[in-house]
A and B are shown apart, each in its own frame.
Chain A
Amino acid sequence: MLYREAGQYKTSYAADMAVFPIRQDRIGIAVMLAVAFVAIPLVASPFFLASIMIPFLIFTLATIGLNILTGYCGQLSLGTGAFMGVGAYACYKLTSIFPETNILVWILASGIFSAAIGVVFGLPSLRIKGFYLAVATLAAQFFLEWAFIRIPWLYNYNASGAIEVSTRTAFGVVLTGPTAGTVERYFAVLAIVVLMTWVASNLLRGWVGRSFMMIRDMDIAAELIGVRPLRTKLLAFAVSSFYCGVAGAMMVFFWLGAAEPSAFSINLSFQILFMVILGGLGSLIGSYMGAAFIWILPVLIRMVPEALGLPIEAATVEHINFVIIGALIIFILIVEPHGLARMWQIIKQKLRVWPFPY
């Protein structure tokens, strides 16, 4: 009785094709948005916002980006970290050249640069696929990381070699730099992530997403029914890198405040990949779940033993985290290859038929 579409009649095609055809879903989404936009900023402490919510949302966006490429289009990429770096450096350059412009414009524009680089490194995807492509994206990872270190123009010839965010505003509100308020930053991140999730969900439901999925499921068959593989794959690389680039720009500007090239190392790529796998390949809601899980797990490992009176060293926490995540990845791949998103679907289905299991 909790979750049922009985009695909800659809009278138009548009209603039938809606993203959330069931009323309870729509109410659920509205509640979640209300919580995210109203309840959390009112209740949460600045620490919770700054070190859990903001990074979680940023990683979610990067995960959506990789999910578009790997989950929807079937092209495994290990270069996510570097593409996020491209976004961050592009945003840094843009805002130091044009300091007066609204920072949100540059955050979104930096995705375009990332998309362009992504297309260049996606070019081999026509001839090679699978493992070979994964290795090719590693080339992007190492090359770009090197470029961030060796091209001083990218970090404005700073002595430290790192990019540091100075104070920038949007609509008269200080959003970046040391003086920016946590709540303002949270709202900016949340707004961008919600907007881009909405765009992604519509993009992936339309012909774009369908052609991605065709390429993923069987590329030769897709070609036969008129999907042009090169164009589609490059589009997937572009869209995916755009999302990753925006996420990278937000990571530096709204969360870290400064970043060295090592922030965009291969470990970041793996972290995002794990979020995609755990959350569920080819699912937007799964991207949120995966990001939340991987980001909150280390916090839990640190907090729970402390609350029980068994403090653990920071280094040990990290090691335990590695062990658990590694084991968890294998476990998830074995028991539920579609990740947390599939579990969520199963729960919803159970609720739908409750109390009669069939």
Chain B
Amino acid sequence: METLYLVFIDPFVQMVTAPDFFLQVLWEGFVSGVLYALIALGFVLIFKASGVLNFAQGIMVVFAALSLVGLTALGVPALISFVICIGIMFVLAVGVERMVLRPLVNQPDIILFMATIGLTYFLIGLGELIFGGEPKTMVTEQLLLPTGSTAFDILGGFLILQHIDIAAAVIAIIMVAALGFFFSKTRIGRALRAVADDHQAALSVGISLNQIWVIVWFAAGIVALVTGVMWGARSDVSFALQIVAFKALPVIILGGLTSIPGAIVGGLVIGIGEKIGEIYWGPLVGGGIEGWLAYIIALAFLLVRPQGLFGERIIERI
């Protein structure tokens, strides 16, 4: 009885009696959800255009943030190193297309997936070799990002919003809108959708697959850079950020591998869900459930709907 009360009633009582704290938890969840959604967006972009589940997306986030901080530490002004980092992401995209994707074309998906795990290791090693493994502070102010926080009086308590979190949410919305525009209105965007739909048909009307791959990897690289900056501003820049990548996997599973809205909704569900779970139910089992709650949510969901929220149903024929 006691346990049932603690599991099913007590958390809700806590929520109602301290609504300001509940709002704070919701906000925290929302912000991390937005950042998960950003990484998931990188995954979805690449998966849509090439059918590769890019395991290295998370390490690309770390690598981008690390290059930015590393370049700034060398004395390059932050905004200029941001531009250089965009260049690095482009070089990376071209490199991946040349060295990994082109030779592996037509291989089973799972082989490509494993190749991106190899890429992950390669980038971890390279990043540590060049910039060192110790955590670094993100150059938030030099990038003209706001710091500090505002407190609101609300519901008999107060709600603290970090300015950087608000900026993260705004930038994420702008990114998604820009990507949406890019996909639906531009020439390249149409080509991307054509490739996503049918590789061979796209080839036959003169769309260069190799070019498209470079473009999507570059776009995913920029998304990674932005995510790295925002996430690095909330905590330090270190290889522990990889954990963020492992969070994005359940997000895309939940949202469906091919859907941009799915990535966003999935990110928010996972972000808010795991914060609420951690705060209200976590103490019952000793805390720290954030690490796997996202996976269990995604797994439970998969059993009901194997293609995810917005994913396409895969019909198999023999």
Query: Which A residues are in CB contact (< 8 Å) with B204?
Result: none
Q: Is the C-beta of A128 less than 8 angstroms from some C-beta in chain B? A: yes
Query: Which A residues are in CB contact (< 8 Å) with B133?
Result: 315, 319
A291-324 CB mask vs B (1 if < 8 Å, else 0) is: 0000000000000000000000001101111111
Q: Is the C-beta of A220 less than 8 angstroms from some C-beta in chain B? A: yes
CA distance A323 to B111 in the complex (A): 19
Q: Is the C-beta of B104 less than 8 angstroms from some C-beta in chain A? A: yes
Query: Which A residues are in CB contact (< 8 Å) with B302?
Result: 124, 127-128, 132, 136
Query: Which B residues are in CB contact (< 8 Å) with A142?
Result: 246, 291-292, 295
Q: Which residues from 226 to 281 on chain A have a C-beta closer than 8 Å to any C-beta of chain B?
A: 266, 270, 273-274, 277
Decide: B104 and A333 in contact? CB cutoff 8 A.
Answer: yes
Q: Is the C-beta of A20 less than 8 angstroms from some C-beta in chain B? A: no
Q: Is the C-beta of B110 less than 8 angstroms from some C-beta in chain A? A: yes
CA distance A145 to B292 in the complex (A): 9
Starting from the known contacts A131-B109, A132-B302, A323-B125, 12 additional A-B residue pairs (CB-CB under 8 Å) come to: A131-B53, A131-B110, A132-B306, A135-B295, A145-B291, A150-B286, A320-B125, A322-B124, A326-B118, A329-B121, A333-B115, A337-B111
Q: Which residues from 102 to 142 on chain B have a C-beta closer than 8 Å to any C-beta of chain A?
A: 103-104, 107, 109-111, 113-115, 117-126, 128-129, 133
CA distance A149 to B288 in the complex (A): 10
Decide: B303 and A124 in contact? CB cutoff 8 A.
Answer: yes
Q: Which residues from 324 to 341 on chain A have a C-beta closer than 8 Å to any C-beta of chain B?
A: 324-330, 333-334, 337
Q: Give A contacts to B, CB under 8 Å.
A: 76, 124, 127-128, 130-132, 134-136, 138-139, 142-143, 145-146, 149-150, 218, 220-221, 224, 266, 270, 273-274, 277, 315-316, 318-330, 333-334, 337
* Shortest beta-carbon distance from A138 to chain B in Å: 6
Residue of B nearest to A144 (CB): B292
Decide: A218 and B318 in contact? CB cutoff 8 A.
Answer: yes
Query: Which B residues are in CB contact (< 8 Å) with A139?
Result: 250, 292, 295-296, 298-299
* Shortest beta-carbon distance from A47 to chain B in Å: 27
Q: Is the C-beta of B100 less than 8 angstroms from some C-beta in chain A? A: yes
8 nearest interchain CB pairs? A322-B125, A326-B122, A329-B118, A326-B121, A139-B295, A323-B125, A142-B292, A150-B286
**Highest count of chain A CB atoms <10 Å: which of B121, B126, B288, B302:** B121
Decide: A329 and B117 in contact? CB cutoff 8 A.
Answer: yes
Q: Is the C-beta of B316 less than 8 angstroms from some C-beta in chain A? A: yes
CA distance A139 to B299 in the complex (A): 8
Query: Which A residues are in CB contact (< 8 Å) with B318?
Result: 218, 220-221, 224
What does DSSP make chain B's interface, helix, strand, loop or mixed?
Answer: helix
Query: Which B residues are in CB contact (< 8 Å) with A315?
Result: 128, 133
Q: Which residues from 34 to 62 on chain B have a C-beta closer than 8 Å to any C-beta of chain A?
A: 53
CA distance A143 to B123 in the complex (A): 27
Chosen A-B contacts, 11 in total, with CB atoms closer than 8 Å, are A135-B295, A135-B298, A139-B298, A145-B291, A150-B287, A266-B246, A323-B126, A326-B120, A326-B122, A330-B122, A334-B104
Decide: A134 and B118 in contact? CB cutoff 8 A.
Answer: no
Query: Which B residues are in CB contact (< 8 Å) with A325?
Result: 118, 121, 125
Decide: B111 and A326 in contact? CB cutoff 8 A.
Answer: no
Evaluate whether A277 and B114 lie within 8 angstroms (CB atoms) in the complex, with A330-B99, A330-B122 already known. yes
Evaluate whether A130 and B110 lie within 8 angstroms (CB atoms) in the complex, with A142-B246, A326-B119 already known. yes
CA distance A274 to B117 in the complex (A): 9
Query: Which B residues are in CB contact (< 8 Å) with A221?
Result: 318
Choose one: A150, A220, A323; the contact of B285 (CB below 8 Å).
Answer: A150
Query: Which A residues are in CB contact (< 8 Å) with B92?
Result: none
Decide: A220 and B288 in contact? CB cutoff 8 A.
Answer: no
Evaluate whether A135 and B253 lie within 8 angstroms (CB atoms) in the complex, with A76-B110, A323-B126, A326-B124 already known. yes
* Shortest beta-carbon distance from A79 to chain B in Å: 11
CA distance A110 to B117 in the complex (A): 30
CA distance A127 to B302 in the complex (A): 8
Q: Is the C-beta of B172 less than 8 angstroms from some C-beta in chain A? A: no
Q: Which residues from 196 to 230 on chain B have a C-beta closer than 8 Å to any C-beta of chain A?
A: none
Evaluate whether A143 and B121 lie within 8 angstroms (CB atoms) in the complex, with A132-B306, A277-B114 already known. no
Query: Which A residues are in CB contact (< 8 Å) with B191?
Result: none
Q: Is the C-beta of B257 less than 8 angstroms from some C-beta in chain A? A: yes
